[in-house]
Amino acid sequence: MLALIYYRQLKRWVDTGIFDAYPVLVERGLQPTTDKVYAADHYRAIADMLFDAVKWVKNQRTLDQFIILDDWLTEPEEKERLFSLTERLSAALTKEECQRLESWKTINWKG
């Protein structure tokens, strides 16, 4: 459900990373009560969480400690892929939110 909420909110800027998870669940022996089951890949899930945090967490230090990228993505090419995705989300952010996002990216880039 969460992936679908963000998908609807952000699909204008980012139409990637959301997939139909129904077949995956069935393949693993689960029987969803609906055939509409969506999920996000790691990059999209992190981008969605970051988008939300940049919008609602006004304190930069709190934001920097809230999402620590090395907890999920440790390789430089993985971070580049996420940063590319966040560039597209910048169109949905205010100037102040973009500045917080850029500051977060600088702190989390250890390539």
Q: Is the Cα torsion angle 6, 8, 10, 13 positive or negative in sign? A: positive
Phi then psi dihedrals of residue 38, to 5 deg: -120, 150
Q: Which of 67, 79, 71 is nearest to 111 (CA)?
A: 79
As a whole number, mean pLDDT of residues 23-42 equals: 88
pLDDT for the residue 37 = 85
Residue 7: pLDDT band by 50, 70, 90 thresholds?
Answer: very low
Q: How many domains does the chain have?
A: 1
Q: Extract the tokens encoding 29.
A: 């022996």
Residue 14: pLDDT band by 50, 70, 90 thresholds?
Answer: low
pLDDT for the residue 77 = 94
pLDDT in tens, 84-100: 988 888 888 899 999 99
Q: What is the mean pLDDT of the chain?
A: 83
Rg from Cα positions in the chain: 15
This prediction's pTM: 0.77
pLDDT for the residue 41 = 87
- The range of the structural domain enclosing residue 97 comes to 2-108
